[in-house]
Amino acid sequence: MEELNGTDLPVIDLSLFSSKNVDQNQLESHEFNKLRQACQELGFFLVINHGVDATLIQSVECRIRDMFALPAEIKNRAIFPIFNTGYGPSVVDDVAKDSIPENMSFPWDHLLPNSVEKISAKLWPQGNPAFCEELNAYGAQIKELSHRILKLLVWSLGVDVSSQSASELFEKSFGNVRMNYYDKCTDKEMISKAHTDVSFFTILYQDDIGGLQIRTKQGKWMDSKPLPGSFVINVGDILQMWSNGRNRSAEHRVVYGRSNRNRLSMAYFFDLPDEFEIRCPKEMIDQEHPQLYKVVTKGDTVAYFKKVGPNMATPQHFRLQ
């Protein structure tokens, strides 16, 4: 695997791909092969030259740090009785010796429409238009990036982007941004709960503190060192199922606590609504690749997640044999 600037993950340069169409030559190019291999072997890669404004990212990071610095009684006002929406205080599991970081989720155009305005109104009743404006601008830019990445993922699997199977991904998907805030404990190391993402794929911004680890096929924990200016992309459970097991939704976790600053990450889950049927395209099934998973809805996978908690067994649970 290639090494670049101290990171362990394959780096995909998005400026090398045309956004319009691809021909057979491009599909067999070095960059496409690298992407395909990253999705199949590791389930994680980095993207650079992604088009999201660096100044905006920096500014949003400051605003989110300020948000988490609010007193607990204010943040608690942003708890919503909707899955993956609003504030979640940190949870430390003393038995399993792991944790869930403090988090705040903004489901963009689903679950809770205008979630940025609604959540910010709970935190700042006097209003915070700059927070809303910047966060919405960030969401819009990441959404655009997510569609570029989806196109590449679909192409890399040899599926026609204008097919019914692919078009419905573009039409029905929505984004949910989850901000994670990991406490500096300084005296001890903490580990967040290992899990795979229930998303189709995830676009993750992490600050410069580091700590993200990915479980390789060989079962080893591998460090993913932050590469300034990049986003981490990972295959989620739904993509693993949609690709009939070709792409790998990898287990990951964060080791943190020893820094003198709290660690911040912003995960954009490229997601599908509960009624979406996870049915792999016909191109994914042949003699060599018999259908691996039952056709279930996204809601079925969420129900399983809610039952067992963060886990690494969702696709396995829905296997046919």
Letter for the amino acid at 145?
L
Contacted entry of Ni ion, ligand OGA, none for residue 265, CB cut-off 5 to 8 Å set by kind? ligand OGA
Tokens for 185, please give them: 């404990």
Neighbours of 167 (CB within 10 A): 13
The residue among 197 and 271 lying less far from ligand OGA, judged by its C-beta, is 197
Closest by CA to 151, choosing from 172, 139, 173, 169, is 169
The residue among 128 and 262 lying less far from ligand OGA, judged by its C-beta, is 262
How far is the C-alpha of 310 from the C-alpha of 195, rounded, in Å?
A: 5
Q: Near Ni ion by CB under 5 A, which window of 123-131, 148-156, 197-205, 224-232? A: 197-205
How far is the C-alpha of 39 from the C-alpha of 130, rounded, in Å?
A: 37
Is 235 in contact with 39 (CB distance < 8 Å)?
yes
How far is the C-alpha of 308 from the C-alpha of 14, rounded, in Å?
A: 37
Site for Ni ion contains 237 (CB under 5 A):
no
The residue among 22 and 227 lying less far from ligand OGA, judged by its C-beta, is 227
How far is the C-alpha of 232 from the C-alpha of 248, rounded, in Å?
A: 15
The residue among 223 and 283 lying less far from ligand OGA, judged by its C-beta, is 223
The residue among 44 and 155 lying less far from ligand OGA, judged by its C-beta, is 44
Site for Ni ion contains 251 (CB under 5 A):
no
How far is the C-alpha of 298 from the C-alpha of 222, rounded, in Å?
A: 29
Residues forming the site for ligand OGA (CB under 6 A): 178, 180, 197, 204, 206, 212, 252, 254, 265, 267
Contacted entry of ligand OGA, Ni ion, none for residue 154, CB cut-off 5 to 8 Å set by kind? none
Contacted entry of ligand OGA, Ni ion, none for residue 212, CB cut-off 5 to 8 Å set by kind? ligand OGA
Contact positions vs Ni ion (CB under 5 A): 197
